[in-house]
Amino acid sequence: MAEHVKVLLSEKEVDDRIQAIGEQISRDYAGKQVHLICVLKGGSFFLCELAKRITVPVSLDFMSVSSYGSETKSSGVVKIIKDLDEPIKGKDVLVIEDIVDSGRTLSYLMEMLKDRGPASLKLCTLLDKPDRRVIDVPVDYTGFEIPDEFVVGYGLDYDQRYRNLPYIGVISFD
């Protein structure tokens, strides 16, 4: 079966939007240090591009999570594969994700991080697929709202491939 990827958001569109979000974050966190938490693996490309455009002091940490099997997935239970290296108590934390889809991953993660006592906690996602939402997740910064289609590129994978595409594409099969 052949796979085709059609461009949904070009490299320039994505880069321009990330620049604008970086400027907005720099204004919103003026006088503070922002602690960026990247959710692996999908969030990694967005994190790198965004962090370069933030002009206030930045520190970084990484976390890797995975959903349990399909039965418990519906309850929103997520397993931590790699936890943060450092405590976030008292820090201004901004979680960086590639996509909020059903909302299960992020709703679990944000609740868990809130319990650790950060000074503030916000969420920044490159893509939001609101039509697919099962659990509500407040998003503070969104790159693009997209339709209900399976997307790849800029960190997003299909079967672990296509993460390295410099644009966002829709994958189809024939």
Ligand X SMILES: O=P(O)(O)OC[C@H]1O[C@H](OP(=O)(O)OP(=O)(O)O)[C@H](O)[C@@H]1O
Residues in contact with ligand X by the rule CB under 6 A? 39-42, 66, 97-106, 157
- Report the 3 state secondary structure along the chain: CCEEEEEEECHHHHHHHHHHHHHHHHHHCCCCCEEEEEEECCCHHHHHHHHCCCCCCEEEEEEEEEECCHHHHCCCCEEEEECCCCCCCCCEEEEEEEEECCCHHHHHHHHHHHCCCCCEEEEEEEEECHHHCCCCCCCCEEEEECCCCCEEECCECECCECCCCCCEEEEEEC
- Of 22, 42, 76, 169, the residue at the interface with Mg ion (CB under 5 A) is 42
**Taking contact as CB under 5 A, which single stretch among the options 1-9, 18-26, 39-47, 139-147 is the one that binds Mg ion?**
39-47
153 binds Mg ion (CB under 5 A): no
In the complex, least distance from residue 39 CB atom to ligand HPA, rounded to whole angstroms: 11
Comparison of 35 and 104: residue with beta carbon closer to ligand HPA: 104
Contact 76, 136 (CB under 8 A): no
Comparison of 122 and 129: residue with beta carbon closer to ligand HPA: 129
Residue ranges in 81-110 that form contacts with Mg ion under rule CB under 5 A: none
Instruction: Find the catalytic residue in 101, 115, 128, 174.
Output: 101
Residue 101 bears catalytic tag: yes
Comparison of 59 and 102: residue with beta carbon closer to ligand X: 102
Residue ranges in 96-155 that form contacts with ligand HPA under rule CB under 6 A: 99, 101, 150-152
Catalytic residues: 101
Residues in touch with ligand HPA (CB under 6 A) = 99, 101, 150-152, 156-157
